[in-house]
Amino acid sequence: MTEQQLVDGCIREDRKCQEQLWNLYATKLLTVSIRYCQNREDAEDVLMEAFVKIFDNMSAFRGQSSLETWMRRIVVNTSINKIRSRKFTESIDNEALHIGYSDNSFDAMDAKLLMGMLESLPVGYRMVFNLFAIEGYSHKEIAELLSIDEGTSRSQLAKARKSLQDMIEKKGVIHA
C-alpha cells in the first residue's frame, strides 16, 4: 500500500489503513516522543495523543512534505504540549549516563546511551537541542514554538552542547 493510499484510507476512516499507519510509524515516533518526555509512560501517552490528532487531521495533509515529516511535527508539538502541562522536576538522573558505557568511541555509542545523555539535560536545553539538532527546526521556529526569544534559543543550544560535551569528557569518551 502506498503512502497516498494510506492517507486516503485514513481520511475515509478505514480502520485497516489506520492500523497499518500505526504499525509503520509508531515505533519510530515513539523515539521522538521519548526524546522530549521525561519518562516512557509520558512518551507513550504523547504517541497515542499524537495519533489521535493525526487521524483527526489527516485531511489537512496536502503532501507538501513526506507523511513521516508531517507526523513527526505533530508528535513534537504534542510532546511540547505535554511538557508544558506538567511541572517537570529537572533532576539529572546520573544513572542513565552509565548505561551502555562500554566503549570510548562516539561511533560505538548506541542510541540508548545517547538517549540517556539527552535525558540528563535540563528540559529547556533538551527541547532546544532536540528541535535544532535532530528535528532541524530553525531558531526562529523554536522561538515561536516555545514562546522564547531567538537569543534564548541560541544560548540554550550552546549550553546543551556544552553539557553534552562535558558529559562525554567526564566519561573519557571524547575524541577529536
Partner 1 sequence: MIKTDQIFKDALHNHETPLSGKASFQGVMQKRKNKRRGFFWFSLSSVLLLLLSLTAATLFRSAVSEGNTTSENNTQINTDNTGNGAGKVAKNASAKQSGDYRVKNNEAALNQPAFSHTSRAGAISKSAFTVKTGQAQRPDISDKKNNSSLGIKPVNSATSNGSGFELSAKGGSDQILSDNLYETRKLLELSDWIKRLSGRGISIEKNAKIMPTEGTVIPEFVPFYPPREPKFNPIFELNVATAGNGYKYFRESQDVTIAGNHRFSQYQGIMLFDMGRGVNIGAGMGYMESVGIGKALISSYVYDTMLQKDVRITKAQNISYRLNIVSIPLAVRYQLGFGRSLVRISVTAMPGLVTLGSGTMFSRDALQSMDVLKKSSFTMDARLGAGLYYQVAPKTAISAEPMVQYQSIPGAQWNSFSRFGFGFGLGVVFRP
Q: Which residues bind partner 1 (CB under 8 A)?
A: 15, 18-19, 22-23, 26-28, 30-31, 34-35, 40-41, 44, 47-49, 51-53, 55-57, 60-65, 69-70, 73-74, 77, 81, 84-85, 106, 109-111, 114-115, 118, 129, 132-134, 136-138, 141, 144-149, 152, 161, 164-165
Q: Is the dihedral of CA 81, 82, 87, 92 positive or negative?
A: negative
91: left (phi over 0), alpha (psi -120 to 50) or beta: beta
56 or 93, CB closer to partner 1?
56
What distance in Å separates the CA atoms of residue 134 and residue 87, rounded to the nearest whole number? 24
**Based on CB atoms, which residue is closest to partner 1, 27 or 104?**
27
Q: Which of 44, 41, 19 is nearest to 29 (CA)?
A: 44
Closer CB to partner 1, 5 or 138, in the complex: 138
State in angstroms the smallest separation of the CB of 133 from partner 1: 4
- 49: Cα separation from own chain's centroid: 14
Residue 135 CB, shortest distance to partner 1, in Å, is 8
What amino acid occupies position 123? V
- Separation of first and last alpha carbons in the chain: 46
User: Which DSSP state fits 37?
Assistant: S
Is the Cβ of residue 93 or residue 144 nearer to partner 1 in the bound state? 144
CB of 60 to partner 1, least distance (A): 6
Cβ nearer to partner 1, comparing 4 with 69: 69
Q: Name residues whose C-beta falls within 8 Å of residue 144's C-beta, 6 or more positions apart in sequence.
A: none
**How far apart are CB 155 and partner 1 at their closest, in Å?**
11
CA nearest neighbour of 145 among 82, 77, 47: 77
- Nearer to partner 1 (CB atom), residue 98 or residue 140: 140
Asked if residues 10 and 21 have their Cβ atoms less than 8 Å apart, the reply is: yes
**CB of residue 87 to partner 1, shortest distance in Å:** 9
Q: How far is the CB of 91 from partner 1 (least distance, A)?
A: 20
